[in-house]
Chains A and B, each alone.
Chain A
Amino acid sequence: MTLDIPLAGDAAARFLPWLIGFMVYLAALGLALALLVVSAGERWRTTAAGTATVQIAPVNEGRDTRDERAKQALEILRATPGVASAQPVPERQVLALLRPWLGEDADATALPLPRVIDVTFQPANPPDTAALAARLGAVPGVSLDDHGAWLARLAGLAGTIEGIALAIVALIFIAMIATVVFTTRTSLAIHREVVEVLHLIGARDGYIARQFELQALAHGIKGGAGGLILAAATLIALSTTAMHIDAPLLPRLTLRPIEWAAVVCVPLFATAIAMIAARITVLRTLAREM
């Protein structure tokens, strides 16, 4: 379709598809980061929530009472409604956890290691952890860690990263709006005579604005497609690389279908924003004329 206003040849507008492409690329990556962090945070929460750790620390009583106190703690735990399971962690497993820090040759058996009990709560009916901690605290050297503080810090970190990522996405879109407004104003100035002719033969402002909207649509499709392809390639490469790393704490770096759908919406959203920005700019500029 030939536009009445020759917008396609404008020098200022020629770079717009490239700019939209870069912005869509960055926005898509920003959004993907936010989505990955949200999903990692959820995973951490679901993994850690509903579990707790009871630690039986050595106390200076002249003899080793760790096993006796562990037995008392187990009795308290198993008698508490809402506790699904309470399993002592074998000492060799505790030692295995320490081996990376102490080295293979170190004799860890001589260390006064605490006894550890893994506790799982019933998801539908978890116990009052504060009351449980108080009951366990009556046994010397016994403490309950319900992972709350750790989870709160983790959730705080995830929220911060998510917020920053979304703020970056918002800034990218604001920059894109500013770019579209600037190029639209420039194009209006360049084609002032044609716009005046259209006005004088009876074109409504909306008809003229439609020309700029269609041009923004064309730029959005071109730039958006390029930016999306580049972003998809980057995310697939990142996911493929992350698959070869065996680190349980590392968040999953593969997007789910619904998350891919959100990323695919970025160029559509960018195009819609570009069209709206172009339309509003033209209408506001023309409204100042006769």
Chain B
Amino acid sequence: MAGGEIVRFQRVGMRYGLGAEVLHDISFRLQAGSFHFLTGPSGAGKSSLLRLMFLAHRPSRGLISLFGREIATVPRREFPALRRRIGVVFQDFRLIGHLSALENVALPLRVAGGREHQVHDHVAELLRWVELDEQIHVRPSILSGGQQQRIAIARAVIGRPQLLLADEPTGNVDDRIALRLMHLFEELNKIGTTIVIATHNESLMERFPYPVMRLKNGELLDGGDS
């Protein structure tokens, strides 16, 4: 990884199917251990950019490198190992409805083959941290939006990812919980996790003065380490 570079985009374009390009000529670099906000108006391409970063979509052109590996040359069988180094908080949470809070948060550890008792202890501790220890066996459908969001965040960070991508992670929580979550992200950042948070929340960006990547009409106006 040249100079601790963890993400590199070079003139990346992206389209869905045969549609028009939603991202054009995106180029940036993120250093390991950096913290970034990603912002822009609705439809600017924030979620699409995140999708490229968490390996849910292939670019239509350009080069993407993650953890020093050019994605186009990575065999498909190696994607799971790369994805385990990335934590994702989805805007719509994408919790699995028939699983309890504990089972949802435990998923990344289970798919990685974690031992059940360690998984349980670790997950219970994290759920206590996000103040959901009372709802450990509750299914997401009966939790509030904010509680679901905290479960989604717990699931994203449980595997101690090297890169954490969060799409509007504080969108459904009150200010107290939002601050608490931001402090969690900062703590993760301190231990070396690279953080990218997509948000519309200007006050959050003012309060936490990290570099901001601004997208508009699928183009990156500024930000990143490039």
Contact = CB atoms under 8 A, between A and B. Distances in A.
Interface stretch (A151-159, A194-202, A249-257): A194-202
A257 B56 CA distance: 56
Contacts of B94: 193, 197
Contacts of B111: 198, 201-204, 207
A97 B77 CA distance: 77
Contacts of A2: 98-99, 103
A202 B80 contact: yes
Nearest to B155: A201
A202 B81 contact: yes
Scoring A5, A194, A200, A203 by chain B CB atoms within 10 A of each residue's CB, the highest score goes to A200
A290 B79 contact: yes
Contacts of A6: 96-98
A203 B96 contact: no
Interface string A171-212: 000000000000000000000011011111111100100000
A151 B187 CA distance: 87
A4 B99 contact: yes
B82 to A, nearest CB: 8
B83 interface: yes
Scoring B97, B108, B155 by chain A CB atoms within 10 A of each residue's CB, the highest score goes to B108
A196 B56 contact: yes
A207 B77 CA distance: 12
Nearest to A203: B111
Interface string B12-56: 000000000000000000000000000000000000000000111
B107 A201 contact: yes
Contacts of A5: 96
B58 A290 contact: yes
B160 to A, nearest CB: 12
Nearest to A7: B98
Contact of B56 (A9, A200, A207, A287): A200
Interface string A1-31: 0101110010000000000000000000000
Interface of B: 54-58, 76-77, 79-81, 83-84, 88, 90, 94, 96-99, 103, 107-108, 110-112, 155, 159
19 contacts: A4-B96, A4-B103, A4-B110, A5-B96, A6-B96, A9-B98, A194-B96, A197-B90, A199-B80, A201-B84, A201-B111, A202-B80, A202-B111, A202-B159, A203-B80, A203-B111, A204-B77, A290-B56, A290-B76
Given A9-B98, A201-B107, 7 more contacts: A4-B96, A4-B99, A4-B103, A198-B111, A201-B159, A203-B80, A290-B57
